[in-house]
Structure 1
Amino acid sequence: MSLPRRAFVSSLLGGAAVAATPGLAARAQTWAEAAPFGREWADMKWRRGVENQRIADLGDGTFLNPIVSGDRPDPSILKDGDDYYMTFSSFESVPGLHIWRSRDLVNWRPLTAALTKNIGSVWAPELCKHDGRYFIYIPARFPEYRSNYVIWADRIEGPWSEPIDLKLPVHIDPGHIVGEDGKRYLFLHRGDRVRLSDDGLSTDGDVEHVYTPRRFPSEWVVEGFGQEGPKLLRRGEYFYMITALGGTAGPPTGHMVIAARSRSIHGPWEDCPHNPIVRTTSAAEKWWSRGHATLVEGPDGSWWMVYHGYENAYWTLGRQTLLDPIEWTDDGWFRARGGDLSKPIAKPSGGEALTPGMALSDDFSTDKYGIQWSFYSAGPDEAARLERREGALIMQGKGAAPSDCSPLTFVCGDLAYEMEVEIEIDPGVTAGLILFYDKALYAGLGFDAARFVTHQYGIERGRPGHSHGRKVHLRLTNAYNIVTLHTSGDGRTWTKFDRQMEVSGYNNNVRGGFMMLRPGLYAAGQGAARFRNFRYRAL
């Protein structure tokens, strides 16, 4: 049974803590009122980890999806002995291709960023291991050039090589497999395939078409046919190809997972009679647009699918990583057992539960660039804009606004959160806190030496002047896509800013690009901004 909203939020935060913290009771009421009307509170049953962030492991032998929250789409997972590694699409964020590690498939923590060079928007990579060496195959696109690349490393932690251009300009979503002939192949979207050289660093032959899946019913409401994301597995006498259909976003019922199999890597490929293996069938479900799956064996020999999905009503969080149990059937196919993934699921047994996630607050005493922080659309020398000194992150200004200054952003996965920072600016600089989708769509608050500047819909507006000079404390609260802003001269006495925002439309279905609304910092203009005591807390 649902609690009244204020009572629920108070209980979530702890009634005593609400009563004892100045202003927190009023803010709890604001957060509660901001929640979408009529929502069930079942989605608030996650355990809370560092900074109150939600974590999947419920501590009772079960977990609640997502296993990695926030914008972690197109997951590519590798089982390597007792370890699991996973990476995701990173789009325009540099450093990108963050690799996460787990030992039980449920608890994940970041390890490193494998890609430090901007090669364009990075979509649907493939992480694999062959002959003791790690590889990531990377589709990437600039507006004027697109291709697929490969990077490699002898240790998962790196160092990772420079990207090598495979000169595949029209394909995305590579899936690596070794055939019964001992040769290496990349399967690509649209049912195409290309053979690789033995070292995996170049192609060996032409792209060829090898698979056309059976069409789904025309009355299904989908974004498009969208044959994408082939992932290959060899098990027993069969090769299995797991493919995404229906389009990545658009209608919630669009994306789906299908399977095909063959006794040879060269086909013919037989469609699973039970397709689709997974599909969101109603917008009332907890997880929308579920697809882009990879099969993986758990530490106890059980089998699972890892794929992504949008959280109902929260397109702004991007596609999040989901874990779904499967079972192999007597006819050599498999089926999903997790249902719509709205309820807790028994964890795989065995393995080790690592401490999940990471703290997103930053006192700037250590370097979290490439683990937490990434630039949007970074230039070749973007990292030179940053310096840590005496408890401050010093960021050189660039451009005139968030649209052209390459903001420094991070991924978070909470439905409601608050962040604060102290900012001191040089003359000629504008800096602030933002929620950034891309260069045309962002929201937040900045300031220069004389005035505040609001950012809404990707538009800047000068606001009334302030009396704080060149040092201001800013607080941004995003509670269920309702944004409120506070300012302070000393970090103790806060004034609510007179502009609030609703940001649920800052998402792919409005703007395209498949990304999330990322929290971040920006500095524009000539000179530097000094950021101190960045604090994040999920609500």
Structure 2
Amino acid sequence: MTLSRRHALQLALAGASVPASAGVAGAPRPGVGLEGQRQADRGDGRYLNPIVAGDHADPTVLKDGADYYMTFSSFQSYPGAVIWHSQDLVNWTPITAALHQPIGTVWAMDLIKHAGRYYLYIPVLQDAGTGIYVIHADNIRGPWSAPIDLKIPGCIDPGHVVGEDGRRYLFVNGGRRVRLSDDGLTTDGQLQANAWTPWQYPKDWVVEMFAPEGPKLFRRGAWFYLISAVGGTAGPPTSHMVTVARSRSVHGPWEDAPNNPIVRTTSIDEPWWSRGHATVVEGPAGDWWMVYHGYENGFRTLGRQALLEPVEWTADGWLRAKGGTLDQPLPKPRGGKPSPAGFALSDDFSSGKLGLQWAFHAPGPDEARRLRFDGPSLVIRGKGRALPDSSPLTCACGDRRYEVTVDLEITGDGHGGLALFYEERGHVGLGFSATQMLTYGYGQEHAWMREPLPATTGTRRVRIRLVNREHIVTWHVSHDGGGTWTQHPWQMEVSGLHHNVFGGFVSLRPALFSAGAGEVRARNFTYRGLPA
């Protein structure tokens, strides 16, 4: 991609660089109009996990003075690598999307600051295998550079550290390490095996697989600490965990904590499953905290959510977790300034920019060309033949119960609609052409359920409402702007649309789609969490 085309793509998708306080439609509106969305802060000095609800896996956290920044694996969603901001570790708001150029499936990143510059080390899965890229910026809000391939194939989960020798290193999965150049933009030497030996759990533990991954390193006093995960990130509820090792040198030898693992789900009855993949960070008042991910019990459809747990240092210099199973509210970190929390997922499309709640699934390099803003509406040009191959525009959410409503207008010979989308094989939804209503159930369009639309209904305009109450999905349709609603005859159960069925590590997300030779105009997308 040439520089001008890349900048064009960035501008077209530029919910990206709007300051968190901008408050314009289509961009994040911190703490405003959250419409029942789940919040961690209890308002009484306590918080209840998750701190960022919904699909926010593999958190990497950077402390930068009084500010904290965090980002998560973004997989096949672009714009990706959305960076969140907080000053109290509990309340977080997205401020920018750092990655716009599609480079593959993005896994667990490392966000760091070195010599006044921000770096994001990005592992990706491509057709040829895995590798690691880097982007950088002088301002956390961007602009961020184009991705640079570090050319270290077969590696994921980079963890950056500056050694006692002043050199920069990336530790990666499987106990390996590579040295970086001083500017952090190329490697300086070969990938080294056996840089550390991942901790081995007892053979009779029920896990997914060994899968040593997610090294995150920091220095405290005379020691380097290496936080890593083993056990596999999904599969059985007892799979994942957090382990600690330390060394006086980045070159080893590393010794394992005597209390490993310091975090692990041990029972299917716990509220959070497969807890692991942690970053350890100092809190605003000098206490210490750990941010990691986990699946909510019974709600793998929401993806791996971001969890915060207090930790303490033992007299002999090891970490001890203090949050138990996270089933109860915990005291908030001391000393942090009040922070805005979350942002409204609803979008009236009046800003002329794509808000940070939106991302294409598996886009091509020119996907933004499919979009145009026309007054208070978003027009999506058709792609593919049906929902699965249309690269739908998705919106991650974190509530067990919610309602989504949108007004759509169909033009041309294609069809489009509203869906709950996990991936190409796992989705449900309703689509409309000029003459028919189409029903997608459990990964396929059911031709036997196609319904002709009478000409008297004004079929090119439709309002769709979906309600998801703890995996029970009900659809309603209106052709008169919401004056009269008709319930769709098929109520769907979607609890199986998650990673342990389809792979991919993502979540079930509301999505707008436009397929075939036509366009879909979307207006008034509204999202609200529903009470129990």
Q: So what's the TM-score if we normalise by structure 1? A: 0.90
Q: CA deviation at 1:145?
A: 4.4
Q: CA deviation at 1:456?
A: 1.4
Q: CA deviation at 1:214?
A: 3.5
Q: What runs of 5+ residues in structure 2 fail to find an aligned partner?
A: 1-30
Deviations 1:254-307 (A, max 9, x none): 100010000011000000000010000000000000000010011111100000
Q: CA deviation at 1:366?
A: 1.2
Partners of 2:484 and 2:95 lie apart in 1 by 38
**Residue 470 of structure 1: aligned partner:** 460
Deviations 1:476-504 (A, max 9, x none): 11110111100001212111100111111
Q: Identity of paired residues, percent?
A: 60
Partners of 1:214 and 1:109 lie apart in 2 by 35
Q: Are residues 1:254 and 2:239 paired? A: yes
**Residue 40 of structure 1: aligned partner:** none
Mapping for residues 141-152 of structure 1, pairs under 5 Å:
141-152=125-136
Q: CA deviation at 1:508?
A: 0.5
Q: CA deviation at 1:382?
A: 0.7
Q: Are residues 1:313 and 2:313 paired? A: no
Give secondary structure in 2 for the equivalent of 1:510: helix
Partners of 1:400 and 1:124 lie apart in 2 by 32
**Residue 220 of structure 1: aligned partner:** 205
Give secondary structure in 2 for the equivalent of 1:55: coil
**Residue 322 of structure 1: aligned partner:** 307
Residues 135, 151 of structure 1: 8 Å contact kept:
yes
**Residue 497 of structure 1: aligned partner:** 488
Residues 130, 156 of structure 2: 8 Å contact kept:
no
Partners of 1:320 and 1:49 lie apart in 2 by 22
Of the three residues 253, 257, 278, the one matched with 1:268 is 253
The aligned amino acid for 2:236 is P
Residues 32, 343 of structure 2: 8 Å contact kept:
no
Give secondary structure in 1 for the equivalent of 2:244: strand
Residues 478, 486 of structure 2: 8 Å contact kept:
yes
Partners of 2:352 and 2:137 lie apart in 1 by 22
Give secondary structure in 2 for the equivalent of 1:403: helix
Mapping for residues 50-449 of structure 1, pairs under 5 Å:
50-209=34-193, 210-369=195-354, 371-449=356-434
Question: 1 or 2 for the larger relative contact order (CA 8 Å, sep ≥6)?
Answer: 2
Give secondary structure in 2 for the equivalent of 1:60: coil
Change (3 A) 1:81 1:367: farther
Residues 55, 67 of structure 1: 8 Å contact kept:
yes
Change (3 A) 1:178 1:299: same
Q: CA deviation at 1:213?
A: 2.7
Give secondary structure in 2 for the equivalent of 1:383: helix
Partners of 1:239 and 1:454 lie apart in 2 by 55
Residues 113, 370 of structure 1: 8 Å contact kept:
no
Residues 95, 113 of structure 1: 8 Å contact kept:
yes
Q: Are residues 1:509 and 2:496 paired? A: no
**Residue 537 of structure 1: aligned partner:** 528
Q: Are residues 1:484 and 2:491 paired? A: no
Partners of 2:439 and 2:166 lie apart in 1 by 59
Q: CA deviation at 1:49?
A: 7.0
Give secondary structure in 1 for the equivalent of 2:327: coil
Deviations 1:71-121 (A, max 9, x none): 000000000011000000000001000000000000000000000011000
Q: CA deviation at 1:465?
A: 1.8
Q: CA deviation at 1:143?
A: 2.3
Deviations 1:452-487 (A, max 9, x none): 111112101232222331111101111101111000
The aligned amino acid for 1:151 is I
Partners of 1:364 and 1:353 lie apart in 2 by 29
Give secondary structure in 1 for the equivalent of 2:369: helix
Q: CA deviation at 1:451?
A: 1.4
Residues 49, 55 of structure 1: 8 Å contact kept:
no
Aligned residue pairs total 493
Partners of 2:424 and 2:152 lie apart in 1 by 28
The aligned amino acid for 1:514 is F
Residues 33, 344 of structure 2: 8 Å contact kept:
no
Q: CA deviation at 1:405?
A: 0.9
Q: CA deviation at 1:353?
A: 1.9
Q: CA deviation at 1:191?
A: 0.6
Partners of 2:484 and 2:248 lie apart in 1 by 69
Give secondary structure in 1 for the equivalent of 2:388: coil
Give secondary structure in 1 for the equivalent of 2:501: helix
Change (3 A) 1:109 1:137: same
Give secondary structure in 2 for the equivalent of 1:318: strand
Residues 94, 370 of structure 1: 8 Å contact kept:
no
The aligned amino acid for 2:420 is L
The aligned amino acid for 1:379 is G
Q: What runs of 5+ residues in structure 1 fail to find an aligned partner?
A: 1-46
**Residue 7 of structure 2: aligned partner:** none
Residues 428, 440 of structure 2: 8 Å contact kept:
yes
Of the three residues 496, 506, 518, the one matched with 2:509 is 518
The aligned amino acid for 2:287 is S
Q: CA deviation at 1:144?
A: 3.2
The aligned amino acid for 1:230 is P
Give secondary structure in 2 for the equivalent of 1:50: coil
Q: So what's the TM-score if we normalise by structure 2? A: 0.91
Partners of 1:106 and 1:367 lie apart in 2 by 31
